[in-house]
């Protein structure tokens, strides 16, 4: 092992010794054949996400990274693991009131929050840009996401797999079970739907031309019908 690698691992171990980061020592090193980054910045991002997010959302963010890595590997694409992990860990911050602007969509607010975090953690402009695009485009038009690079593709593929399911050709049952075993869903379908609806009710009209447009429109009425997004989440091939 080279000296630089030794120093990086020493720094990571020192971080895990801090009380605020100690719980992250329990995070698995590898899930379904995917190694989770353990660099100091990746660990700080995970700690930030864990502190900011409810438990079911934090686990969704980590499943997003693993599912995305598995699906991207099927496409024989490489990616910056630290940048992609940080983007996945922070990709849903915009759904939380703490990070919401007055008039921005949750994708915009989340991208801004994640970019600020990356810059504050010493990331380069290029790294902050990769994280911004990955969060901003994680549920948008695939042609744009693909043009934004592998990190954006990973977060989009991973989030979609966890919310809607993924083709069996890209994820088999054994892999899915291992990912969910490492990061349990904790009632994700119901609780995530409730989080989306609460966001729509706080900020009606801001999700026009986005994935949540229909859901927000439906829940702006007195007797909301079931929306396509709700049906997608409920129909995902997970047992909860």
Token couple for 223: 């007797």
The token duo for 236 is 């995902």
- pLDDT the model gives residue 237: 84
**What dihedral do alpha carbons 181, 182, 188, 192 form, nearest 10°?**
-160
How high is the mean pLDDT of the chain? 88
Question: With 50 as the cut, is the pLDDT of residue 1 above it?
Answer: no
Mapping DSSP to helix (H, G, I), strand (E, B) and coil, where does residue 201 land?
helix
CB 166 within 8 A of CB 75: no
Q: How far is CA 19 from CA 23, 42, 120, 160, 217, in A?
A: 8, 17, 21, 34, 44
Residue 190: CB atoms within 10 Å: 13
Distance of CA 29 to the CA centre of its chain: 18
d(C-alpha 150, C-alpha 118), whole Å: 18
The Cα 193–Cα 234 span in angstroms is: 9
Three-class secondary structure of residue 35 per DSSP: strand
Mean pLDDT, residues 202-215 taken together = 85
User: pLDDT for 92-106, tens place per residue?
Assistant: 999 999 999 999 999
CATH 3.10.50.40 fits 40-183, yes or no: no
3-state per-residue secondary structure call for 175-200: HHHHHHHHCCCCCHHHHHHHHHHHHH
CA-to-CA distance for 130 and 151, rounded, in angstroms? 7
Which residue, 217, 214, 209, is CA-closest to 228? 214
Length of the chain: 240
The structure's pTM equals: 0.86
Give the pLDDT band of residue 10 (cuts 50, 70, 90): very low
């Amino acid at each position: 092992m080279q000296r630089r690698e030794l120093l990086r691992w020493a720094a990571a171990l020192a971080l895990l010794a801090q009380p605020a980061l100690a719980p992250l020592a329990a995070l698995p090193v590898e899930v379904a054949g995917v190694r989770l980054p353990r660099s100091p910045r990746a660990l700080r991002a995970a700690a930030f996400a864990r502190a900011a997010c409810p438990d079911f959302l934090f686990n969704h963010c980590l499943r997003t990274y693993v599912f995305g890595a598995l699906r991207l590997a099927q496409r024989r694409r490489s990616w910056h693991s630290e940048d992609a992990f940080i983007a996945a860990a922070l990709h849903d911050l915009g759904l939380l009131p703490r990070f919401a602007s007055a008039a921005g969509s949750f994708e915009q607010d989340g991208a801004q929050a994640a970019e600020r975090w990356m810059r504050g953690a010493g990331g380069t402009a290029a790294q902050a840009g990769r994280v911004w695009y990955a969060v901003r485009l994680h549920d948008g038009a695939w042609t744009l996401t693909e043009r934004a690079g592998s990190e954006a593709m990973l977060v989009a593929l991973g989030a979609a797999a966890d919310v809607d399911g993924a083709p069996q050709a890209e994820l088999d049952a054994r892999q899915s079970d291992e990912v969910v075993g490492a990061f349990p869903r904790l009632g994700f379908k119901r609780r995530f739907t409730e989080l989306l609806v609460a966001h729509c009710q706080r900020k009606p009209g801001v999700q026009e031309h986005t994935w949540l447009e229909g859901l927000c429109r439906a829940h702006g009425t007195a007797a909301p019908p079931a929306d396509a997004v709700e049906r997608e989440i409920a129909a995902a091939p997970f047992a909860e």
